Amino acid sequence: MKLKNTKKIAGLTLIEITLVIAVLLGLISVLFIGVSAYKEGSNRSKCILNISNVQKAVRSYQNLYEKNEGDALAMSTIAGTGKLLETVPTCPSSGTYSDEAEIPQVGTAYLSCSLSAVADGDHKPTTTTGW
C-alpha cells in the first residue's frame, strides 16, 4: 500500500485569525485612549490661552484709555469686531467664562473658567505673574 504525499495548504487557522484580530483591537483601543487624552490636554491649553489673551486685552485697554485698577470694564468693551479681541472667547471643553467686571490688579486674571473649580482645576493658569 502506497501512501500519497499530501501537501499542506498554506493559510491561517481560525485560532490564529482570532488572535490577530484581538491584538489589533487592543492596539486600536490604546490609540483611542491616547487621542482622547491628547484632546483633553489641548482643550485645557486653549482655555488657558484664551484667559491669557483676554488678560492682555484688558491691560492694553487699561493702558490705551488710562484706566485704573478697579475701574468698571465689561467684556463687550474689549471684545467684538474692530476691538482688542475680535470675538468673545469660549471654553473649548464646554465650560463657561466669568469676568471680574472691573480691571483687576496686576497678577489677577480678569477671566476664570467654570472648569477650574473641578477636582483637577485644569483650566486654571498655574501662574499669573506679570499679567
pTM: 0.76
Residue 130, pLDDT score: 76
Band (65; pLDDT cuts 50, 70, 90): very high
Per-residue three-class SS string for the chain: CCCCCCCCCCCCCHHHHHHHHHHHHHHHHHHHHHHHHHHHHHHHHHHHHHHHHHHHHHHHHHHHCCCCCCCECCHHHHECCCCCECCCCCCCCCCCEEECCECCCCCCCCEEEHHHHCCCCCCCCCCCCCC
The 10s digit of each residue's pLDDT in 91-129 is 999 999 999 899 999 889 999 999 987 756 688 888 888
Question: What is the average pLDDT value for the chain, to the nearest integer?
Answer: 89
